[in-house]
């Protein structure tokens, strides 16, 4: 058999374990030297498996070049004469191979090197066959430039107080950029162990996934750090950093050393992150029943960082604003954000690192879980942050994206690097978190926790797929559990521990959850209540596309969810439950009721429409005694009403009528939700320059919400919820040009500027509003820009950036955009947010769009096509457009850029503009009439 396989390989025929046949009739690509490349697929062949990487790397900060030597141990599963690895922008100077034989010193044999940059692959050809079940060492020497972007091994800089520029290098490999630092099997399935050595200058510090075990002096101011061997992991989790950072450290109750590394001048901002990381790491060890498997966890604030953070095992990296907390300039929302990001990245140490999705189509198994665990962990460790209140907004955001036809299933096909990058979106993160929350509510907390423990234990150091997760919830027992007599569930026992109402019903977790992960969108549940009978129907919920649209029927065909419904009624304080499996169903109650409310506390991922007098009854109830519903139910009702308006299922005046009770609302979360919709409508008509409606709506908002605005103090007092309400309300009052707000903001800014910005007398929660007021004058705008340059607080810089983008002066807005493009004063990482903020400003909307069009090629040089940054730019620059002329202009621009034809972001942008156009066409007259009727 071995001889036959060798002959077949020699004549160009080979087989892989997935049964795929490769022969000379296939059209193989050409390598860079013109020869035939031996592999034609994006995914690597599966018959060579990495076991261990021994990597020595020397990033030279003076020359911006790095050299590497890699020795990779591989196992051969099918006889072959070539090895294909990933490699991008690496110049491979030599490649050798030797068989691993402990008894005999192997001969090093030279390999022929072929490169195919289109697939970011390199092939190593051997004159002799590589034999099955043999282990080989592949040795590679290479050299490359440090990356100028945010992927691979890239350069970063920061400025000291005295103006010096300091250099460092950091890595970011997820999802497909480890290949930019060393040749590797850069797919999550190919897990291996790593031993890393880093050469550096003596004044620097080197960090990697594992602790340093020794340092060798090499002379010429060079040293070589050796790090302990890693656990088995995927390539995208490898990380190393060389910098002059300093750290503070602490230890968890289980002995894990936790350190926060940062620019030395910001070390005083690292204390909160250290405290939070220790508390959350300890929580996860208890919750998952699995000790953190590494001896240390480093958290590093990287000055140049495209995303929010990255979960490299043992060496998590963060944008500075996601890790550093400055008590003087960080607001309540900043603190909440930092805590949640740390909770997210530490959750990944189990979800993603310990158990990794098999392929990127299931990235939600990493990101959806980490997103959801943010809420569970922060609620347990910092209850005062009231984090669960913001799970509502997470699900509202997901529904907004999912209710458009351009959405996608949670588990979606993704093959090339651009498609893979696009998977890191609202669907994977937010929808993933929300369906997990629905499942937890369905199964109970205990069953849910036991299920994920079983999932993590069963698949530790391995890979998993969707069904592996669902099977873990159906059977939470492991051999270890039986051996130790631990409490667990078998598949047959599981239903007995679910809410009582489900015991009588047959259900299959896999069958239920596949309807939420394998099809896009979400259901609309229509309710018709008649005494003790509730008739329910489900259909796909779509915004902007009405039932009379010609495409409506085709967009509904084939969609069906198994929906875990919950409900309360006028005659029952207990929660009713019903698993809806069909297009229509009936719920029989024990007695007649006056009203019913579905999706209790918004624990489910669906929209509800109350037909007949349903909405009228709800509006009446809210006006009579709004506390009859929980605050989460009230937020849910407001959200549903305005979503149904966008779908053409509810008249705008009914949704606006529902908000009238808000003058009595005591929940900050609900008040902000209602205000958010009203403010959104205001900005839409303001940007369209519909002056009469804008003026009337502004008058209504100030008249109706004046009491709650006037109650706000210009301070940092109160709970997190109180403080976030204050920030939002005062910013709204400023946007509406409310005289008392303008006067106070200008007064505070004047005092602050009078002291040269040195006396920090502006409360952090109102800092953004005060800075916005100051930015309206040329002197104030320039003063803020100078303050931005010298500030050592990322939180303050973010608030200044937002204020600079809110001014009405075209020249200053254009200057701000150019500063973002230059990347000196405003770092390149912040350019997408600058474009977004300028586009949100009515005075800057067209300016931002024209800037994107003019600089499209330059933007693609700075940010990869499928990245979060490019999505922010595309969607930010277009999201407020609402005219047919703007729609055609955006269509023409996208059509002229062939490279974005397969991206989802342009599709989302166009559908969003179409939705805005239809919303105004249907609702502008109704809005005008309602405001006039309700103005006093």
Are the CB atoms for 378 and 414 separated by under 8 Å? no
Q: Give the residue numbers annotated as catalytic, written as ranges.
A: 345
Strand partners, 69: 56, 141
Q: Please state, in angstroms and rounded to a whole number, the distance separating the CA atoms of residues 869 and 864.
A: 8
Phi and psi at 519, nearest 5°, equal -130, 150
Which residues touch 710 (CB under 8 Å, ≥6 apart)? Answer: 740
**CB neighbourhood size of 424 (10 A):** 21
Q: pLDDT tens, 617-659?
A: 999 999 999 999 999 999 999 999 999 999 999 999 999 999 9
Residue 170's DSSP bridge partners are 154
What CATH number has the domain spanning 27-244? 2.60.40.1730
Considering only residues 163 and 375, tell me which one the structure prediction assigns the higher pLDDT.
Answer: 375
What average pLDDT does the structure give for the chain? Answer: 92
User: Is residue 523 a contact partner of residue 607, using CB atoms and an 8 Å limit?
Assistant: yes
Binding residues are 344, 348, 367
pLDDT-derived band at 759, boundaries 50, 70, 90: low
Instruction: For residues 413 and 43, give the distance between their C-alpha atoms in angstroms, rounded to a whole number.
Output: 13
Per DSSP, the three-state class of 225 is strand
* Spatial CA neighbour of 623 closest among 609, 611, 639, 634: 634
Would you say how long the chain is, in residues?
936
Asked if pLDDT for residue 493 goes beyond 80, the answer is no
In the chain, the percentage of residues whose pLDDT exceeds 90 is 88
Locate tokens 């809410």: which residue? 499
d(CA 634, CA 659): 10
Q: How far apart are CA 21 and CA 625, in angstroms?
A: 70
pLDDT at residue 24 greater than cutoff 80: no
How many angstroms separate the CA atoms of 366 and 345, rounded?
A: 10
Residue 480 has pLDDT above 70, yes or no: no
112, two tokens: 């022929």
What are the DSSP calls for 29-81, one per residue? Answer: PB-TTSSBPS---SSPPSSEEEEEEEEEEEEETTTTEEEEEEEEEEEESS-EE
User: pLDDT, tens digit, for every residue of 772-784?
Assistant: 999 999 999 999 9
From CA 811, how far away is CA 816, in angstroms rounded? Answer: 9
Least confident segment among 429-433, 502-506, 520-524, 589-593: 502-506
Mean pLDDT of the 805-829 span:
97
Q: Is the pTM of this model over 0.85?
A: yes
Using an 8 Å Cβ cutoff, are 98 and 137 in contact?
yes
What pLDDT, on a 0 to 100 scale, did the predictor assign at position 543? 93
Q: Is the predicted pLDDT of residue 660 greater than 50, yes or no?
A: yes
pLDDT range class, residue 25, cuts 50, 70, 90: low
Residue 116 has pLDDT above 60, yes or no: yes
Q: d(Cα 368, Cα 348) in Å, to the nearest integer?
A: 10
- Once rounded to an integer, what is the mean pLDDT over residues 739-743? 97
Among 374-388, 541-555, 587-601, 664-678, the range scoring the smallest mean pLDDT is: 541-555
Domain with CATH 1.25.50.20 in the chain: 680-807
Asked which of 383-387, 481-485, 510-514, 925-929 is least confident by mean pLDDT, the reply is 481-485
For 566-589, write each residue's pLDDT tens digit: 999 998 879 999 999 999 999 999
User: Where in the chain are all domains bearing CATH 1.10.390.10?
Assistant: 365-517
Q: Which residues are annotated as part of the binding site for Zn(2+)?
A: 344, 348, 367
Count Cβ atoms below 10 Å from residue 206 Cβ, excluding itself.
Answer: 24
* pLDDT of 22 strictly over 50: no
The SS3 call for residue 928 is helix
- Could you give the CA distance from residue 525 to residue 540 in angstroms, rounded to a whole number? 9
Task: Provide the pairing of β-strand 65-76 with 48-60.
Answer: antiparallel
Tokens of 394: 């997470």
Each residue's pLDDT tens digit, 525-565: 999 988 889 999 999 999 988 888 888 999 999 999 999 99
Residue 902's pLDDT band (boundaries 50, 70, 90)? confident
299: three-class secondary structure by DSSP: strand
830/847 Cα distance (integer angstroms): 18
Termini Cα distance of the chain: 91
The burial class, CB within 10 Å (0-12 / 13-18 / 19+), for 358 is middle
Phi then psi dihedrals of residue 859, to 5 deg: -65, -40
Partners of 528 in beta bridges? 535
Pair 214, 222: CB distance under 8 Å: no
Query: What are the helix (H) ranges across 101-140?
Result: none
Q: Quick one: tokens of 547?
A: 């039932």
Query: In Å, what is the CA distance from 30 to each residue of 25, 40, 92, 185?
Result: 15, 9, 18, 21
CATH topology of domain 680-807: Zincin-like fold (1.25.50)
Residues 129, 80 contacting (CB under 8 angstroms): yes
Q: Is 873 exposed, middle or buried (0-12, 13-18, 19+ CB in 10 A)?
A: buried
Contacts of 181 (CB under 8 A, 6+ apart): 57, 66, 68, 144, 152, 153, 171, 173, 238
pLDDT at residue 484, rounded to an integer: 43
What pLDDT, in 10s, does the model give residues 830-869? 999 999 999 999 999 999 999 999 999 999 999 999 999 9
CB-based burial, 510-541: b 16+ in 10 Å, e otherwise: eebbbbbbebbbbbbbbbbbeeeebebbbbbb
Average pLDDT over residues 138-162: 96
pLDDT > 50? residue 374 = yes
Which of 480, 471, 475 shows the shortest CA–CA distance to 493? Answer: 475
Q: What is the mean pLDDT of residues 297-303?
A: 98
Virtual CA dihedral for 405, 408, 410, 411, nearest 10 degrees?
Answer: 150
Look at residue 602 and give its three-state secondary structure.
helix
Q: Collapsing DSSP states into helix, strand and coil, what is residue 130? A: strand
Report pLDDT for 936. 75
| Angle, CA of 44, 67 and 159, to the nearest 5° | 110
Determine the topology of domain 522-659 in CATH.
Immunoglobulin-like (2.60.40)
Please state the three-class secondary structure of 644-692 as a single string. Answer: HHHCCCCCHHHHHHHHHHHHHCCCHHHHHHHHHHHHHHHHHHHHCCCHH
| pLDDT score of 202 | 96
- pLDDT of 504 strictly over 60: no
pLDDT for res 485: 38
Q: What pLDDT sits at residue 819?
A: 98
- Residue 696, both tokens: 């009337």
pLDDT of 498 above 70: no
Query: Do residues 700 and 935 make contact, with C-beta atoms less than 8 angstroms apart?
Result: yes
Q: Which residues pair with 918 in a beta bridge?
A: none
Q: Which of 548-557, 692-701, 767-776 has the lowest mean pLDDT?
A: 548-557
Fold of 365-517: Neutral Protease; domain 2 (1.10.390)
Residue 488 has pLDDT above 80, yes or no: no
Band (pLDDT 50/70/90 cuts) for residue 85 is very high
**Res. 253 pLDDT band, cuts 50 70 90:** very high
Closest CA to 70 of 88, 53, 50: 53
Q: Residue 182 in contact with residue 70, Cβ under 8 Å? A: yes
Contact 315, 241 (CB under 8 A): yes
CA dist., res. 877 & res. 884, Å (int): 16
Domain with CATH 2.60.40.1910 in the chain: 522-659
Residues of the chain with CATH 2.60.40.1730: 27-244
Examine the pLDDT at 502 and tell me if it is beyond 60: no
């Amino acid at each position: 058999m071995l001889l036959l396989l060798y002959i077949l390989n020699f004549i160009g025929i080979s087989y892989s374990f997935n049964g795929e046949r490769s022969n000379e009739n296939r059209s193989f690509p050409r390598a860079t030297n013109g020869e035939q490349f031996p592999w034609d697929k994006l995914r690597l062949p599966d018959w060579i498996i990495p076991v261990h990487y021994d990597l020595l790397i020397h990033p030279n900060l003076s020359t911006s070049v790095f050299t590497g030597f890699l020795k990779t141990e591989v196992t051969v599963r099918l006889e072959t004469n070539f090895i294909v690895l990933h490699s991008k922008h690496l110049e491979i100077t030599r490649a050798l191979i030797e068989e691993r034989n402990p008894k005999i010193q192997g001969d090093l044999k030279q390999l022929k090197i072929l490169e195919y940059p289109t697939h970011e692959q390199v092939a190593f050809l051997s004159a002799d066959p590589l034999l099955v079940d043999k282990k080989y060492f592949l040795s590679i020497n290479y050299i490359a430039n440090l990356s100028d972007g945010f992927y691979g091994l890239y350069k970063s800089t920061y400025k000291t107080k005295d103006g010096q520029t300091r250099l460092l290098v950091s890595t970011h490999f997820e999802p497909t950029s480890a290949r930019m630092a060393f040749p590797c099997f850069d797919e999550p399935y190919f897990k291996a162990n790593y031993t890393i050595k880093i050469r550096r200058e003596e004044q620097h510090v080197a960090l990697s996934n594992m602790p340093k075990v020794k340092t060798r002096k090499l002379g010429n101011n060079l040293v070589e750090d050796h790090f302990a061997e890693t656990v088995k992991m995927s390539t995208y989790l490898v990380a190393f950093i060389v910098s002059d950072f300093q750290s503070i450290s602490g230890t968890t109750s289980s002995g894990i050393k936790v350190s926060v590394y940062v620019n030395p001048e910001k070390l005083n901002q690292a204390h909160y992150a250290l405290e939070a990381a220790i508390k959350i790491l300890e929580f996860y060890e208890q919750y998952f029943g699995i000790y953190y498997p590494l001896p240390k966890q480093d958290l590093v604030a990287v000055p140049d960082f495209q995303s929010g953070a990255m979960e490299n095992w043992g060496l998590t990296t963060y944008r500075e604003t996601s890790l550093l907390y400055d008590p003087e300039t960080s607001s309540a929302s900043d603190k909440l954000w930092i805590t949640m990001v740390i909770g997210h990245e530490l959750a990944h140490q189990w979800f993603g690192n310990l158990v990794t999705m098999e392929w990127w189509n299931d990235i939600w198994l990493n990101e959806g879980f980490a997103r959801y665990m943010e809420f569970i962990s922060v609620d347990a460790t910092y209850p005062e942050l009231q984090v669960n209140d913001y799970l509502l907004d997470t699900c509202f955001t997901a529904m907004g994206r999912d209710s458009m036809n351009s959405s996608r299933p949670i588990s979606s096909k993704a093959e090339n690097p651009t498609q893979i990058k696009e998977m890191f979106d609202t669907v994977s993160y937010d929808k993933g978190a929300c369906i997990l929350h629905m499942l937890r509510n369905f199964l109970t907390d205990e069953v849910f926790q036991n299920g994920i423990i079983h999932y993590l234990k069963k698949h530790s150091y391995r890979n998993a797929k969707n069904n592996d997760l669902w099977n873990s919830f159906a059977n939470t027992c492991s051999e270890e559990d039986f051996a130790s007599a631990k409490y667990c569930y078998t598949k047959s026992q599981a239903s007995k521990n679910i809410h009582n109402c489900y015991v009588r019903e047959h259900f299959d977790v896999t069958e239920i959850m596949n309807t939420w992960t394998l099809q896009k969108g979400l259901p609309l549940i229509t309710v018709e209540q008649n005494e003790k009978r509730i008739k329910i129907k489900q259909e796909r919920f779509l915004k902007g596309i009405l039932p009379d649209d010609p495409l409506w029927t085709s967009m509904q065909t084939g969609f069906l969810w198994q929906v875990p419904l919950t409900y309360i009624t006028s005659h029952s304080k207990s929660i009713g439950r019903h698993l809806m499996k069909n297009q229509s169903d009936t719920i029989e109650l024990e007695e007649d009721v006056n009203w019913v409310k579905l999706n209790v506390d918004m624990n489910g991922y669906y929209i509800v429409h109350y037909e007949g007098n349903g909405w009228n009854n709800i509006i009446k109830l809210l006006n009579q005694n709004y506390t009859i519903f929980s605050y989460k139910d009230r937020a849910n009702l407001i959200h549903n009403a305005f979503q149904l308006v966008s779908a053409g299922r509810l008249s705008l005046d009914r949704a606006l009528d529902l908000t009238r009770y808000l003058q009595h609302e005591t929940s900050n979360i609900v008040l902000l939700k209602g205000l958010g919709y009203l403010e959104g409508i205001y900005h839409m008509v303001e940007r369209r320059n519909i002056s009469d409606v804008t003026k009337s709506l502004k008058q209504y908002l100030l008249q109706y919400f004046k009491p709650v605005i006037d109650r706000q103090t210009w301070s940092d007092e109160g709970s997190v919820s109180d403080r976030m309400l204050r920030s939002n309300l005062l910013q709204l009052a400023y946007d509406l040009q409310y005289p008392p707000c303008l006067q106070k903001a200008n007064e505070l800014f004047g005092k602050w500027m009078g002291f040269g910005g040195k006396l920090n007398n502006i409360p952090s929660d109102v800092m953004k509003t005060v800075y916005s007021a100051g930015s309206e004058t040329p002197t104030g705008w320039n003063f803020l820009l100078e303050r931005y340059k010298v500030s050592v607080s990322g939180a303050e810089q973010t608030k200044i950036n937002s204020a600079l983008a809110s001014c009405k002066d075209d020249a200053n807005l254009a200057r701000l955009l150019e500063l973002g493009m230059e990347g000196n004063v405003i770092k390149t990482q912040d350019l997408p947010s600058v474009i977004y903020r300028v586009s949100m400003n009515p005075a800057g909307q067209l300016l931002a769009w024209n800037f994107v069009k003019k600089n499209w090629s330059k933007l693609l040089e700075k940010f990869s096509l499928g990245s979060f940054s490019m999505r922010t730019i595309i969607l930010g620059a277009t999201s407020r457009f609402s005219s047919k002329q703007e729609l055609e202009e955006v269509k023409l621009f996208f059509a002229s850029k062939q490279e974005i034809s397969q991206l989802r972001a342009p599709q989302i942008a166009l559908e969003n503009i179409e939705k805005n156009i239809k919303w105004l066409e249907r609702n502008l007259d109704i809005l005008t009439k309602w405001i006039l009727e309700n103005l006093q």
